[in-house]
Amino acid sequence: MPRLPSAPTTVAAAAGLLTAGAYLNAKLGISYDLRVLRNQKGFRARMLERSRELGDDLSLYRFLEPMPSVVDALAQYLVHHGIQFGQVVGILATNSPELAISMFAISKIGGVSAMLNTALKSETLSHCIKVANTKVVIATPDLVNNVPSAIGSNALEIFSINLSFISPSTQTQDQETPYTVISPSDLTPTSLSSLPTPPPQAQEPPNTTTSSIYLLLFTSGTTGPPKAVSIPKLYLPILATHSSLDLRNPSKYLPIRTYSCLPLFHATALLGFVSAMGTSSCYCISRHFSASKFSRELCLSRATRMMYVGEICRYLLAAPPSPSDKNHTCIVALGNGLQKDVWERFQTRFLIPEIREVYRSSEGLYKFDNLYGGKAAAGNVGFQGWIGRGLENDTFLLRVDPETGDLWRDSRTGFCVEAGDGEPGEAVARVGSLVVGYPAYFGDREATEGKLVRDVFCKGDLFQRSGDLLVREGSGWVRFLERVGETWRWKGENVSAGEVKRFMVEVEGVFDIVVCGMRIDG
């Protein structure tokens, strides 16, 4: 009869297996990947259900159906003044109800809102209006005099909208920039009844498809003049679906009440706003960013989460401490661009327990998410464990030639090669279709084509370049390094401006630093 193992031996073996399992889990990120896969599966199912609920009328206006009266009135008013289905209308507005109402009214007509940067003036603003190919601009009273009266030989029709949400209610008209004022009295039933009967399209939202666009957002212009990015309606069901992370713990995260001090022409703020509308959440919008007022506004809003971009958090840390810094109800900060040196100090000062960092861009299909926190998460844009990396089929990091900035190709096969662990690689994303749901540059086929690369892994495949260098460490964490072109050769070695900066900001007393390479004669 075989001898059975003793109890101590069995316990020791079980402990050994548990230890080995824990080690493999930590080394390969298995539990992290499984959680991501489970959440993605649930999100896809809910998104498809949300798409069915929206039906054929895939429009931003559909999100606002419970309270449409003022939007309907403005839509009817704009139709009377010649705004038509498919027309692009520029919006130059500070954060306000007027901005949101204008955007929804344009959506009801079936138009496209071009969200103009409120900091722009003169030639740059004129450039954006020209790129958007719009002949109509709606502005708030504080900005309307910045709008040029014409683009070239084409006169602009300009509306100054003040529905009494913005002070002052009166304004001085610049004689060189004539405009029409839209006031509450213009949208009363009596005033609207005197207008000609609007065409049917203003009575019911026109049917649209996922290939249609509903917004134009502008790039920051860091690599040339700003370009207009077409935001497809395919994004609407995605934005209108709660994340799995929130739904798995509804007592903690729901209902969502979000505070944002970012301008609504910025993609992070605007898409956050659209998401709040689509999920029937509350979105508390500050008129403009103020480092000295941030903590007080966050408290007054009673928000459970806030939107950020990395530099905003750096400005907040530079402001004097406030008694309100920790006296809030915010448990989640959601945004992008938060560097490690700012991340840790921001969490410590404002006591926001959870930071959700996402890697996205207005025109980009590439993405990484860093959603599950922990000390190791600081300064990273995402995580890919062993399982996640093996199943990934959309976003990749590709080796780059540091001399030319081009994607490096194997001389034998002619195909690109993925960057190894710890090696900088450019983020690229697979393009499924250039026709349905692709965020192309509006009216600029050459610029759109310039971001595409073909024959990456096999003949005929198509990918979109980001221009960003990221690094995936052996641990699975992914961090942003720098833009392509910010690496130089020095004494036979590659020197990365991003890596130099990463180490120098750790030096005590250094608040921020800019690193660039310069040619040295001799």
The pLDDT tens digits for 168-193 are: 444 555 556 688 999 888 888 888 88
Beta bridge partner(s), residue 500: none
Both tokens of 251, joined, read: 């007592």
| pLDDT (0 to 100) of residue 174 | 56
Both tokens of 340, joined, read: 């490690």
Q: Which helix (H) or strand (E) holds 136?
A: strand 136-139
- Classify 60-231 by CATH class: alpha beta
| pLDDT (0 to 100) of residue 465 | 97
User: Cβ atoms within 10 A of the Cβ of 111, count?
Assistant: 24
Identify the band that residue 58 occupies on the pLDDT scale cut at 50, 70 and 90: low
Domain covering 386-485, topology: Luciferase; domain 3 (2.30.38)
> Which has the higher per-residue pLDDT, 164 or 297?
297
- Residue 190 in 3-state DSSP? helix
| Per-domain boundaries in the chain | 60-231, 240-362, 386-485, 486-522
516-520 mean pLDDT: 67
- Classify 240-362 by CATH class: alpha beta
The predicted model scores a pTM of 0.82
The pLDDT tens digits for 36-50 are: 777 777 777 776 776
268-285 mean pLDDT: 90
CA 12 and chain centroid, separation: 51
| pLDDT (0 to 100) of residue 522 | 46
User: Cβ atoms within 10 A of the Cβ of 496, count?
Assistant: 19
CA 238 and chain centroid, separation: 13
The pLDDT tens digits for 204-261 are: 455 555 568 989 999 876 667 889 999 998 888 888 888 999 999 999 999 999 999 9
Q: Tell me the C-alpha distance between 463 and 396, whole Å.
A: 10
Query: CB–CB of 460/368 below 8 Å?
Result: no
240-362 shares its CATH topology with 386-485: no
| pLDDT (0 to 100) of residue 31 | 75
Q: Determine which of 92-101, 405-414, 430-439, 483-492 has the lowest per-residue pLDDT on average.
A: 483-492
Query: CB–CB of 279/255 below 8 Å?
Result: no
The pLDDT tens digits for 403-460 are: 888 999 999 999 999 999 999 999 999 999 887 789 999 999 999 999 999 999 999 9
Q: Determine which of 39-48, 58-67, 319-328, 422-431 has the lowest per-residue pLDDT on average.
A: 58-67
